[in-house]
Chains A and B, each alone.
Chain A
Amino acid sequence: MAPHSSSNLQVAPSQSNLSGTVAVEQAIFTSARTSSKDGYQLVAWSPGISSDDARQLAVWGPAHDSMIVDDPTDVSLNFHPLGDHKFCVSRTVLGAAEYSGRGGRQVYTHCFVLDAASFKRFNNDPFRVLSAALSIHDLRPGATLPTDLPTMKMLPSGGPVDAGLIRFFDSPVQQQSLVAWTHYAMTSKKLLFTGGYNDRFLSVFFNLLPVSIRPHFTFSTRLRYSQRRDFRLVGLANDVQEQKKAARQEGFHVFHFDSPARTPEASRHPWATWLQVALCHREPDEAARMISEVPLTTRLEDLSAVGNRLRVAMSGKKRNKEAATAPAASTPLVVPEENTDRAELFELVERALDGDVTALERLNATWCAQPDQQLQALRQECARHFLSLAKEKNCEPGSKGATAVEILSLILRVSP
């Protein structure tokens, strides 16, 4: 799919301003002596952090001796829900010496809190939130702790799946690890991972998940295990004691990155098998496009069926590569001409909303064509037209019309 600039293509959803930025709340949890309390506490937070959020962050926050490795350069990344409708992405590092003079360094956690709608603007990918935050601020603790923080304005960018990240996983060993890991992540209630992993691996895993599935995979890396912090994926570095302690709890599978277990294809989760096919075909753009187009209504339990469908589709395309290029020419693109094509495009949008599959295909083929200045300008107009129509129709969730709305949203890059 053609790359796009979010500032051009994001047609103002209700919660964003004209520049397309998203409001992200922030909070800092660390050890300090303040006017209200001594010890670990939320020392600063932005205005949008409610008292309930603050309470949950204070209870969740990693305190003294929570980092597995006692190294000031070590970084822990965490992602978890906050209440029913919010998400927290956080970054924990070791700071200065503990204020009370009892030895050890303070554990410093910078949290970013987004509501579900804002998180969706980041394609439900915690790593995009973190990279946006890191591009705005230096997240290391300073000499003095702030007492209040502003609400951050972040600009989400990029499509649902970044093909560049898939290219990064080029070696067969990495690919095999990713496939095995995906299988265990999908089939385990909780998964511990140990050994020489890095955060890039997790970011690729999220990148290769359908957008609607990503919030299910809460994770923590390089923090000591605590049953108080309920994560689905728990990274424990190479600390054997922590691994044993966590493994004593119920329902854990362990994945060793240094010696990943093989997963026989017959019993492998279909989404993992699809990823294997996608990685082996070495067509990252195509794989990214296919994952991007998975409807936003897809649930975790639907992932097996979706994985099977995508695998069959990609294998079929590979077999009929020459034949596949020919029909593309036969699909008539809507060729934009000076002020004459707009009505036809609007008609296509209307027909697509009514459930006309051929209209959907034609629209998709149009936007998937090479980027064109005129098309880019038309996209915004089409998107506005689509939004007004979608509001009028107000389709029931799960209906054919609702599915059409979601597919059109993907094609036109807008949120209905």
Chain B
Amino acid sequence: MTKRVLVAMDSYRLAECAVPLACYICGSDNNYNTELCRHCAAPLALSHQARTQGVRPQMVAVLGTAAAGKTVYLGMLLDMLTRQNSRVQVLARGAFSITLQQRTMMALSNCRFPEKTPNEPDRWNWVHCQAKINSKKNPMELIMPDMAGEAILEEIDHPNAYPAIHSFLEKCSGVILLADTDRIERGGAEQNYFLMKLITYLSEQDSRKTRGKTTRPVAIVFSKADRCEPCFDNPELYAREKTPNLWQQVQQRFTNYGFFASGVAGSVGFREELGEGTSAVPLRIEPRGIVEPFEWLVRKV
């Protein structure tokens, strides 16, 4: 005896997977269910989220040399903005967006700075969030990655070495540029040169120009400014006196710029461990000037 059975044709479900998914950062086609872009290693979750929302997310780059404080700044910024804030409020999109904030705050609460960001793009933390400013009617969708300083410098020296950085900087709407005040105070010219390179790179890459100057907003933030109190009083004067080349370049190449000072660790000590060398220890967490640059930038974007 033969039993008749009705079998549902489920093959139509595969049709969605057959359509390639374009990476939101570099635009390369990928398999629908792949985790990271095969070209630039950006998470494809960004593309999935962008597809499901009506608004296209804007990109904000946080740039600086290795150990300039990018991870601490971004992690602290997100932690402050995701709490109740009267001026700007941020809502994380996607569970992966909380990892950076979690990693930073866990490290700081254990009296240490977060570990160095790896150079490999597939191990960077990306933040996708919704930012709401009181004065603006509609919230903004923002994407901000925490990239390694060495990778940024490598990309500037050799364009296309890191496709993720190249595409991101090409498309980003605003830039937060971190200058390590501690190293500037110690007399090193390296910060100055790096920032000048970056300013040149950004201005040459940007096609949106009026009268030869780029309109992309740039916030220059003197990080670790708690180690130099006068920097907080007047960051622009500080820039003019301590980093005159940078100040000059910014004047000549950008129309929308602002100088800021920020600090997370109110006081830093140093611990010597056998075989581990000297490590910096944040003695108390005293965030200052964290939200201001971001708020300024979001208003300008």
Taking the closest CB of chain A, its distance from the CB of B135, in whole angstroms, is 38
Interface string of A96-132 (1 = CB under 8 A from B): 1110111111000000000000000000000000000
Q: Is A37 an interface residue (CB 8 A)?
A: yes
Q: Is A341 an interface residue (CB 8 A)?
A: no
How many angstroms from the CA of A59 to the CA of B150 in the assembled complex? 10
Q: Which of A60-68, A171-179, A191-199, A286-294 contacts B (4 or more CB under 8 A)?
A: A60-68
From the candidates B31, B190, B278, name the one contacting A38 in the complex (CB within 8 A): B190
Whether A250 pairs with B34 at a CB distance below 8 angstroms is yes
Q: A65-B115, A103-B115 are in contact. Are A97 and B122 (CB under 8 A)?
A: no
From the candidates A63, A97, A248, name the one contacting B279 in the complex (CB within 8 A): A97
How many angstroms from the CA of A227 to the CA of B120 in the assembled complex? 8
Residues of B within 8 A of A (CB): 31, 34-36, 38, 41, 65-67, 112-123, 148-150, 153-154, 158, 161-162, 190, 270, 275-280
How many angstroms from the CA of A55 to the CA of B66 in the assembled complex? 18
Q: When A and B form their complex, which 10 residue pairs have the shortest distance between CB atoms, in order from nearest? A: A97-B277, A39-B66, A63-B119, A101-B280, A226-B120, A100-B67, A39-B150, A64-B116, A101-B279, A40-B150
Whether B280 pairs with A102 at a CB distance below 8 angstroms is yes
Could you say which of A58, A103, A250 has the most chain B C-beta atoms within 10 Å of its C-beta?
A103
Interface string of A342-363 (1 = CB under 8 A from B): 0000000000000000000000
Smallest Cβ-Cβ distance to A105: which chain B residue: B276
How many angstroms from the CA of A72 to the CA of B35 in the assembled complex? 32
Whether B118 pairs with A96 at a CB distance below 8 angstroms is no
Main DSSP-derived SS at the B contact region: loop
Whether B277 pairs with A228 at a CB distance below 8 angstroms is no
Whether B270 pairs with A227 at a CB distance below 8 angstroms is no
Q: A63-B120, A226-B123 are in contact. Are A102 and B150 (CB under 8 A)?
A: no
Whether B118 pairs with A64 at a CB distance below 8 angstroms is yes
Count of residues in A whose CB is under 8 Å from the partner chain: 31
Q: Is A41 an interface residue (CB 8 A)?
A: yes
* Tally of contacts, chain A with chain B, CB under 8 A: 98
Whether B158 pairs with A55 at a CB distance below 8 angstroms is yes
From the candidates A40, A101, A102, A227, name the one contacting B119 in the complex (CB within 8 A): A40
Interface string of A19-56 (1 = CB under 8 A from B): 00000000000000000011111000000000000010
A-B contact pairs, 29 of them (CB 8 A): A37-B150, A37-B190, A38-B66, A38-B149, A38-B190, A39-B66, A39-B149, A55-B154, A55-B161, A58-B161, A63-B119, A64-B117, A64-B119, A65-B123, A66-B120, A72-B275, A96-B277, A97-B276, A97-B277, A97-B278, A100-B66, A101-B270, A101-B278, A102-B280, A103-B113, A104-B116, A226-B122, A250-B31, A250-B34
Could you say which of A65, A66, A226, A228 has the most chain B C-beta atoms within 10 Å of its C-beta?
A228
Smallest Cβ-Cβ distance to A72: which chain B residue: B275
How many angstroms from the CA of A239 to the CA of B153 in the assembled complex? 31
Residues of B within 8 A of A103 (CB): 112-113, 115, 276, 279
Whether B113 pairs with A61 at a CB distance below 8 angstroms is no
Q: A37-B153, A40-B150, A97-B277 are in contact. Are A228 and B31 (CB under 8 A)?
A: no
Whether A63 pairs with B278 at a CB distance below 8 angstroms is no
Interface string of A77-109 (1 = CB under 8 A from B): 000000000000000000011101111110000
Taking the closest CB of chain A, its distance from the CB of B36, in whole angstroms, is 7
Residues of B within 8 A of A105 (CB): 276
Could you say which of B34, B36, B154 has the most chain A C-beta atoms within 10 Å of its C-beta?
B154
Given A66-B118, A248-B35, A250-B31, 10 more contacts at CB 8 Å? A37-B190, A39-B149, A64-B116, A65-B123, A72-B275, A100-B67, A100-B116, A101-B277, A102-B115, A228-B122
Q: A97-B277, A100-B67, A103-B113 are in contact. Are A63 and B148 (CB under 8 A)?
A: yes
How many angstroms from the CA of A55 to the CA of B153 in the assembled complex? 12
How many angstroms from the CA of A337 to the CA of B41 in the assembled complex? 68
Residues of B within 8 A of A97 (CB): 275-279
From the candidates B115, B120, B154, B280, name the one contacting A104 in the complex (CB within 8 A): B115
How many angstroms from the CA of A101 to the CA of B275 in the assembled complex? 13
How many angstroms from the CA of A38 to the CA of B121 in the assembled complex? 19
How many angstroms from the CA of A224 to the CA of B118 in the assembled complex? 11
How many angstroms from the CA of A102 to the CA of B277 in the assembled complex? 10
Residues of A within 8 A of B116 (CB): 64-65, 98, 100, 102, 104
How many angstroms from the CA of A55 to the CA of B159 in the assembled complex? 11
How many angstroms from the CA of A174 to the CA of B168 in the assembled complex? 49
From the candidates A38, A59, A249, name the one contacting B67 in the complex (CB within 8 A): A38
How many angstroms from the CA of A224 to the CA of B120 in the assembled complex? 10
Residues of A within 8 A of B35 (CB): 248-249
Taking the closest CB of chain A, its distance from the CB of B20, in whole angstroms, is 13
Residues of A within 8 A of B279 (CB): 97, 101-103
From the candidates A41, A65, A224, name the one contacting B150 in the complex (CB within 8 A): A41
Taking the closest CB of chain B, its distance from the CB of A97, in whole angstroms, is 3
How many angstroms from the CA of A144 to the CA of B34 in the assembled complex? 44
Residues of B within 8 A of A104 (CB): 115-116
Residues of A within 8 A of B112 (CB): 103
Residues of B within 8 A of A228 (CB): 41, 120-122
Taking the closest CB of chain B, its distance from the CB of A296, in whole angstroms, is 34
How many angstroms from the CA of A66 to the CA of B120 in the assembled complex? 9
Whether A65 pairs with B67 at a CB distance below 8 angstroms is no
How many angstroms from the CA of A264 to the CA of B162 in the assembled complex? 43
How many angstroms from the CA of A398 to the CA of B47 in the assembled complex? 50
Whether B158 pairs with A39 at a CB distance below 8 angstroms is no
Whether A38 pairs with B65 at a CB distance below 8 angstroms is yes
Interface string of A219-233 (1 = CB under 8 A from B): 000001011110000
Taking the closest CB of chain B, its distance from the CB of A51, in whole angstroms, is 9
How many angstroms from the CA of A35 to the CA of B119 in the assembled complex? 20
Residues of B within 8 A of A39 (CB): 65-67, 148-150, 153
Taking the closest CB of chain A, its distance from the CB of B50, in whole angstroms, is 21
Residues of A within 8 A of B120 (CB): 63, 66, 224, 226, 228-229
Residues of B within 8 A of A249 (CB): 34-36
Smallest Cβ-Cβ distance to A52: which chain B residue: B158
How many angstroms from the CA of A222 to the CA of B117 in the assembled complex? 19
Residues of A within 8 A of B34 (CB): 249-250
Residues of B within 8 A of A227 (CB): 36, 38, 41, 122
